[in-house]
Structure 1
Amino acid sequence: MSRSSRRHLASLPQWLLCCMPFCLGATERVVHADHGDKPTLTLPGAAAEAGPHVAQIEALGDNAWLYLGPPQPDPAWGSARGRSWGTNQPAAPDLRGAFVFGEGVHAFVKPDGHYMNDLWFYDINGHRWICLYPGIDTRTLLDQMQDGTLQVDERGLLADEQGQPLPPLLIHAYGFLAYDPHQQQLAIVAGQFDNYFTTGPGGVFAEAYRLYQQQRAGKDLPGLSPFFYDARQGRWRCTIVQATPRGGEPYGGSQLVYVHGKRQFFWGGTSGAWFFDLANGTWVDARPTGTLPTGIDHCACYDSRRDRIYYYTNSASAAHENFFIYDIQQNCWTRPRTVGSGPAYASSYESIFSYDRANDALVIIRLYATEREPRRGVYVFDPQTDSWADPLPLPPQVIDQVGDGNFGFYDPTLNAYFCCFAHDSRDDGTIWVYRYRKRP
């Protein structure tokens, strides 16, 4: 609870406190969550030991940037490409890196014929790209569907003989990705052929989509879980569920976040608040109180100390109206009353948005100067005082590297932000590392 909230409550009659059904935006309740950060698995192709650049990262001071340059490419598939509207990619501290997924340029096919629903892993220790899935091969997909190599199964999914589904499409990543370190699986809220830029007349998957719908015709199609990529097995899966989330806006109007305290995925925003019950295979509607966020293209992250989600939108004209908190224990959405001003808004196009566990702060790295004030810079929210610090400017050499397909993540082990600056759907990415503050 903030100091201002304590003073306010202290001034109220005791009888009123006993019966008040209030929902505070900030609490001092500490959740001792198992974050699952201890390295237990090294992905094929990843470095088992840290390279010399890691010592440079460890030595970073406060508000400091370090240029690492382009990562070493995957020997078979090259480098991950920049992707617009996907600035927040899911960190996997236990795997010593982060996953990268989501399309950039609409319906983009890479020069090698693979569609850009490719899945990558950035290996921190090796400063290298690892390709986990190169994307759908647009040259052979239709043949595989016609010869039965891929068939629509009882889930209504196009799958191979082992039941592994064809990976999904996302017009953009938005905030539809999250990682569960306890099960070591990446979750993606998406669907097969779920991109109308690819399935319409003349689209790269137009004929495959027609055949797909033909094979699904007359089937009783069940609700489905998110798509999961199992890092232990290197396989995709998607399961039948009893219930799926309802309502809300598309295009990033709800966000997927892994909640360590519950060991469940949260899906919410304009759709309210839902939790994925992995054991029972279903989404559960939390039916939260409070005012829900509105609009599309939002950002969210989990505060594991207070068991709550910081949530930023871009539809309101004032900065304080775009900032929300969802308190998981109280099951309530609020707009916190803050001191100082945060960014005008945050979106998956221009904001790297993370909870800095080492410094107990929400850190937002805004990359562009063309939006309404306040603009480019590093914005820091202190949840203990409910206050925003003055924004920290980005160095000119960092600004020069920013493209239109940027993304990043926060690694709590190194207490550092990894920012990949690239152009949309181009393999020209370069890595800069940022530290807000050294550990207290």
Structure 2
Amino acid sequence: MDSAADVSWTAPTNDGGDPITGYRVRIWRESTALAEVETSSESIVLDRLDNGTEYRVVVTSVNTVGESVASEPALVTPATVPDPPLDITALRQDQGADVSWTAPSNDGGDAIASYRIQVQTGDKPPKRFIATESPHSIRGLHNGTTYSVTVSAINSVGDSVASEPALVTPATVPDPPTSLNATAVDGAVNLEWSASSNDGGDSITGYRIRIWRENVVITEFDTPITSASVPGLTNGVDYRVTVTSVNTVGESVASESAFVMPISPPVVTPPAIDPPVIDPPVIDPPVVDPPVVDPPVVEPPVVVGPPVVDPPVVDPPIINPPVADPPAADPPPTVRPPSPPVDVAVISATRKSITVGWRVGDSGGAPVIDFIVHKSRYKNRGFTVWPDSISAAPRLELQKPGRGGLYVRVIAVTAQGESAPSQVTLVARAKKLANTKYGGRALE
């Protein structure tokens, strides 16, 4: 146990003729008695011990007569799990890694027997390896995949907590380039190739070109691209060319060899051309024209004419523009009394009232300010002004008459006067009395 010991025993078969009342437990470190504890049970936990220290424990039985001799001693060494390892490193290898660590200074009081290496990537189940010492090589990993590596120390009590993780990405050298093509030119060679599809788990950083002559490398250089031109070669000499892929792990094996011989360009001899035959020019004797003699110039006599008189200056006549009469003004508009309203009709009706509406006819050039409604029970006579019927709107709500019918006509009013009455319109029919002989009622 961690800093403790769990001690248990079996009661003796002989109690000496008196029941056992308890037990006395004594703990020793080397020859020094550390503690004495009494208990009535047959087990006890002794704590506050030092992990890794061996203790000797004896037990005696006690009854009312006294104490028995001590039992055979039991040796116990308290212990717990160790501390985790330190300084974890993981050096990448081809499909694996070499893992190193430093053992913890605290083994928990019990010697470390082994170490558990755990390797995990993403959410996949971890891989576990048991090692007895550092460093330890692990295999079975995938090149180009990053793994988290932890180490735990193990003693007889159990595993320590995991160490701090170390990250590692296994890798190896890439595959060689493919499709190497060499083209010979004058004193040089032009090279092209295809990159390998397998970079060994680590990106290719460049390519190494070697030019061989009779199994001796005469030129070697690196390039980051998949083509190169190699100058300074001798025309007519055979050369062998190889290319390797390079990453941070190292250099691949060489590609397939390409053989090439630089050549001189062909010498083109120009055709022989005879010089042209040039005949001497024929020169005619010069033609000499006789001199031309101009006749003498005779000037005519000077004749004096009459004096030159300038004509008088005459100003042009002043012409005044014609005066146009102003345009005649339009006559003022003619204003006349309005014409009668039209389309007098019932708009709506209830049991108690009637709403009559109409349209304005010709207003005579002035706005309509009022309408006057006349009523009568007869179509062609007896019209009077309906009380409170003067309205500025082209509609009016009227109370229904009793049993008689109702005719109306409407007059429009402007500032120029009143219109003639509109056509007479029947807005309510007279009610007929039912035959009271049969107990009837008024019918509409």
- TM-score bracket, shorter-length normalisation: under 0.3
Give the structure, 1 or 2, with the largest relative contact order (CA under 8 Å, sep 6 or more). 1
- TM-score w.r.t. length of structure 1: 0.15
TM-score (norm 2): 0.15
Q: Greater strand percent: which structure?
A: 2
